[in-house]
Amino acid sequence: MSLHALAALCAAGILAYWRLVPSAMSRLASGVWRLRWLLLAIFVLYVGFTPGEPLLPALPGLSREGFAEGIRRALVLIDLLVCVYLLLAVTPVADLIGAIALLLAPLRILGVDPRRIGLRVALALEGVGEMQARLKRAGRIEDGAWAARAARLIADIESGAEGPTAAVSMPPMRRPRWWEWLLPLALLGGLHTWTP
């Protein structure tokens, strides 16, 4: 995909996320902020190690092609993050579990229980939400107090590890009808024709 297409996709995803969940924009911003070092590393690797025309005459090791490719790869990662946050914002956890179980159903011939994996994903998602809430309640870390805070959080986690706080159930999922596969196929076809 071109840089313009990736930037447009990123902007459309952020706009959709803002329209659907305006109160969660700070969550998306913190997600991008947590990726800052990975984004920087990707950018530096592409700018510094992609051969091509020098970006500036004084900096012969940095190429224009690497600059464009570094921006492109960083935008791909941000686009993926925006799409994941958008999916999690608009899809109930029960539907995500059912969809995972439905997608993993062919693995039954190998002895994999898709319902069990779906429930484990649900418990992990529930646990992540609880841990984020606990970290926010704990407040900012003072200098040198991080070890005591970590010990307190670990003790809290271990004391609450007996079981989930609420029952997690998986709704029965119906198999998609044949025509419902046309939308994902159309999206894939559109992406295929959009990319050079």
State the number of CA atoms in the 13 A half-sphere of 118 facing the CB. Answer: 23
List pLDDT tens digits, range 104-134.
Answer: 888 889 998 888 887 788 778 777 777 777 7
Residues in the chain: 196
What percentage of the chain exceeds 90 in pLDDT?
Answer: 7
Return the bridge partners of 63, or none: 54
> Chain-wide mean pLDDT for the chain?
80
List pLDDT tens digits, range 69-83.
Answer: 999 899 889 888 888
- What is the value of pTM for the model shown? 0.68
Higher pLDDT, 85 or 163: 85
pLDDT at 143 over 70: no
Sort 13 into a burial class: Cβ within 10 Å, 0-12 / 13-18 / 19+: buried
- DSSP classification of residue 161: T
Given a contact cutoff of 8 angstroms between Cβ atoms, the answer to whether 68 and 52 are in contact is: no
- What is the sign, positive or negative, of the torsion defined by CA atoms of 173, 22, 31, 152? negative
What mean pLDDT do residues 6-25 have? 83
What percentage of the chain exceeds 70 in pLDDT?
Answer: 85
- Give the Cα separation of 120 and 158 in Å (integer): 18
Give Cα separations from 188 to 126, 146, 184 (angstroms): 31, 47, 6
- Give the Cα separation of 168 and 101 in Å (integer): 14
Given a contact cutoff of 8 angstroms between Cβ atoms, the answer to whether 72 and 95 are in contact is: no
Question: How many angstroms separate the first and last alpha carbons of the chain?
Answer: 7
pLDDT at 40 over 90: yes
Give the other-Cβ count within 10 Å of 28's Cβ: 21
